[in-house]
Amino acid sequence: AQEPDAFSDVLVIGGGQAGLSAAYFLQRFGLGDRYQLLDHSPRPGGAWQFRWPTLTLSGTNRVHDLPGYGLGEAVGIDRGEFPASSVVPEYFAKYENRFGLRVHRPVDVRSVERDGDGFRVTLGGRLRGREISARTLINATGTWERPFIPHIPGAADFRGRQLHTHDYTGPEDFAGQRVLVVGAGISAVQLLIEIARRAPGVQTFWCSRTEPRFDSNPFSPDLGREAVARVERRVRAGLPPTSVVSVTGLAVTPTIEAAQRDGILDNWRPMFTRITETGVCWDCTGGAGGNGSARGSSSAVAAGEQLDVDVIFWNTGFRSALDHLSPLHLRGPGGGIVMTGRLATTVADDPRVQLLGYGPSASTIGANRAGREAARNVAEILDAQP
Ligand code: FAD
């Protein structure tokens, strides 16, 4: 593959939904030969190429069409039961080819520093140590590579297996085990149901910090807009973003309804306070769990109660993968980055930096729109003629 040039007016980092949308609009806004896109994954598809094989397109919230060439047109409309990890990469690959997007892969961006009027971008991986100077940046590195696990005392003592959504490969691994699923989001619920139904002899348990909120009203566009607006207000105020889905509640799908009927979701308990060698416990002290072993299924938890499990499966979300931008010191006192601009894609302290997939644009439709906005903003800075 052709290697990236040492200079770029616009450097797009990350080639998932957001990065490809930005590249498409950069071409539309007259910057077709003034940008390059770097992505360190081996193949097209962004984070979708890494998602677990049992996640089908119909099991997703919806993968929104990229601008100008829809998923149906590119790969056919009847692919609902196919793994998202193969259909979406196939779609993105066709998309890149169709529009001749200037994607360089695999190219890892290790760090970005300010340098004169622009930025010095240092590469890692196979191009370790090479530098690119860039006048503007569109960062679209997503969240997949920053799985988040909350700190709970005793985690290092646990002798069983701990894994995160990021590392899930399917239900078979859990046959015959006692599995504690942690989290109250879509992944937690989907994977809890999948494991309970498809791992022979498994026993499942479920904990989360906040009680899961099921919403049987169909998800409405108004509700979606309100959720996005709330996340947007946070990032404009410089607070760390919450995920868009965390503010909408869980829509009751037929799969969830059936699981409720079959008692799979009955086993919820509030968050444990300590991890022990053999499981978790509530309001216990020290490494041992206290008295009594909560091997039953009641959701009321007494202080000192312990639950023995073989696996703790963290479905506790992701954070923005922004480590490479840390030399820019973008985070403010609120713990987040103060964002501005029409769709809150612009870093308030440095408008030459656009962040996509951060806050309100962290969904496939949000990423899409943000791509256009970011391309327009850098076109304005560079004074390009559409
Ligand atoms: P990504 O798809 O993560 O792309 C980021 C790209 O940046 C990757 O290709 C990566 O290799 C590259 N990269 C990262 N760091 C670097 C670096 N330093 N140097 C070079 N390249 C780098 N949203 C929905 O709207 N619908 C859904 O159904 C849905 N399901 C989801 C399921 C899961 C399990 C998760 C975790 C998220 C889901 N989301 C969903 C949210 C989803 O993350 C976004 O919708 C969207 O796919 C993110 O696109 P993106 O372009 O921002 O990031």
Q: Supply 7's token pair.
A: 């200079």
**CB 40 near ligand 1, within 6 Å:** yes
Of 252, 246, 221, residue with least CA distance to 231: 246
ipTM above 0.95, yes or no: yes
Q: Is the pLDDT of residue 339 over 90?
A: yes
- Give, as one character, the DSSP assignment of residue 60: S
Amino acid 221: pLDDT:
78
**CB 109 near ligand 1, within 6 Å:** yes
Q: Whose CA is nearest to atom 44 of ligand 1?
A: 363
**CB 13 near ligand 1, within 6 Å:** yes
296: helix, strand or coil: coil
Atom number in ligand 1 closest to CA 46 = 9
Cα 144 to middle of ligand 1, angstroms: 6
Angle, helix 17-28 to helix 364-382, in steps of 10 degrees = 40
Q: Is the pLDDT of residue 386 over 80?
A: no
8: helix, strand or coil: strand
**CB 291 near ligand 1, within 6 Å:** no
Amino acid 299: pLDDT:
57
- One-letter-per-residue 3-state SS of 176-205: CCEEEEECCCHHHHHHHHHHHHHCCCCEEE
Amino acid 295: pLDDT:
45
Contacts of residue 263, Cβ cutoff 8 Å, sequence gap at least 6 = none
Cα 378 to middle of ligand 1, angstroms: 22
Would you say 177 and 311 are in contact if contact means Cβ atoms under 8 Å apart? Answer: yes
Task: Kindly list the distances between the CA atom of residue 243 and the CA atoms of 135, 136, 340, 346, 358, in Å, as whole numbers in the listed order.
Answer: 30, 27, 18, 18, 9
Q: Supply 134's token pair.
A: 């860039």
Tell me the pLDDT tens digit for each residue of 76-111: 888 888 999 999 999 999 999 999 999 999 999 999
Tell me the pLDDT tens digit for each residue of 124-152: 999 999 999 999 999 999 999 999 999 99
Q: For all residues of the chain together, what is the average pLDDT?
A: 92
Q: Supply 140's token pair.
A: 């679209």
251 has which bridge partners? Answer: 215
**CB 187 near ligand 1, within 6 Å:** yes
312: helix, strand or coil: strand
Amino acid 335: pLDDT:
94
Tell me the pLDDT tens digit for each residue of 26-69: 999 999 999 999 999 999 999 999 999 999 998 887 788 999 99
Q: How many residues does the chain have?
A: 386
Q: Supply 353's token pair.
A: 């930096």
Atom number in ligand 1 closest to CA 318 = 36
Tell me the pLDDT tens digit for each residue of 250-291: 888 899 999 999 999 998 999 999 999 999 999 987 544 444
**CB 316 near ligand 1, within 6 Å:** no
Would you say 40 and 108 are in contact if contact means Cβ atoms under 8 Å apart? Answer: yes
Sign of CA dihedral 265, 254, 169, 163: negative
Given pLDDT bands bounded at 50, 70 and 90, which one contains residue 113? very high
**CB 366 near ligand 1, within 6 Å:** no
Q: Whose CA is nearest to atom 11 of ligand 1?
A: 41
Cα 153 to middle of ligand 1, angstroms: 30
Given pLDDT bands bounded at 50, 70 and 90, which one contains residue 191? very high
Backbone angles phi, psi at 83, to 5 degrees: -60, 135
Share of the chain above pLDDT 90, in %: 80
Dihedral angle of Cα 321, 325, 328, 333, to the nearest 10 degrees: 10
Would you say 20 and 92 are in contact if contact means Cβ atoms under 8 Å apart? Answer: yes
Buried b (16+ CB within 10 A) or exposed e, 364-381: bbbbbbbbbbbbbbbbee
Cα 188 to middle of ligand 1, angstroms: 18
Q: Decide: pTM greater than 0.90.
A: yes
CA atoms of 196 and 174, how far apart (whole Å): 9
Q: What is the mean pLDDT of residues 114-130?
A: 96
CA atoms of 82 and 109, how far apart (whole Å): 32
Cβ neighbour number for residue 114 with a 10 Å cutoff: 14
Would you say 219 and 245 are in contact if contact means Cβ atoms under 8 Å apart? Answer: no
